[in-house]
Amino acid sequence: MRIHKEGFWIILFSFIALGILSPLSGLIPMPIYLHYIIWGLLVVIFLWIVKFFRYPKRIISPDETRVLCPADGKIVAIEEVYEPEYFKDKRIQVSVFMSPNNVHVNWSPISGTIRFMKYHPGKYLVAWHPKSSTHNERTSVVIENHAGTQILLRQIAGALARRIVCYAREGNSIRQGDEFGFIKFGSRVDIFLPLNAELEVKIGQKVSGKQTVIAFL
């Protein structure tokens, strides 16, 4: 287990803040047990921040017939929808909600070429809100595999998530399981699949990024 690069500075600043706030709390007149409670809470918050930016090592065997889950979390939506941004036709949408306790690395579900990437500023509705997919801050990425099949990934910011990081660039190649982004402090990833995809997940199922098979193409 290692720490993701997006967390280096936040963890450093948190450690400095812990070192400043802990002795300062000792200057406030209060019962000694309250000092211990405050120090304990500060340590717990720091350890949670370190845990949030964990980056687990996961090994896979690439398979072009499988669509792997792009994120840790829970399946909160599976429905046939009209996708207006890129495909402009009907697709199967699978939505993965990431709680603040989940790993927040985003992995590529298939191998191929990045055909489209666009960032959209927006609101910060809770990630499970029906309109968050089109109203919130988000980034859309389309990957085309070697057979010409395209899927769209949409990183969506939530009420706590205030920064979406996307490493994908149009024209670049990407392998199944490669990291393509990171979302800070809880959010959601939508996957738009062809209508003939064979789904392997169900509503409410807990999933693991780079491990759980979302569908077969």
Helices (H) and strands (E) in the chain, counts: 3, 16
**Exactly one of 95, 173, 187, 208 is catalytic; which is it?**
187
In this model, does residue 178 exceed pLDDT 90?
Answer: yes
User: In the prediction, which pLDDT does 102 show?
Assistant: 87
Is the pTM for the entire model greater than 0.85? no
What is the model's pLDDT at position 142? Answer: 98
Average pLDDT over residues 117-137: 67
Distance from CA of residue 60 to its chain's centroid? 19
Q: Contact at 8 Å (CB) between 1 and 57?
A: yes
The share of the chain scoring above pLDDT 70, in percent, equals 84
pLDDT score, position 73: 93
Between strands 89-98 and 213-216, the pairing is unpaired
Q: What tens digit of pLDDT does each residue of 139-155 get?
A: 999 999 999 999 999 99
Residue 25 confidence (pLDDT): 64
Residue 206 pairs in a beta bridge with 74
pLDDT value, residue 164: 84
For this structure, is 108 an active site residue?
no
Residues 195, 92: contact at Cβ < 8 Å? yes
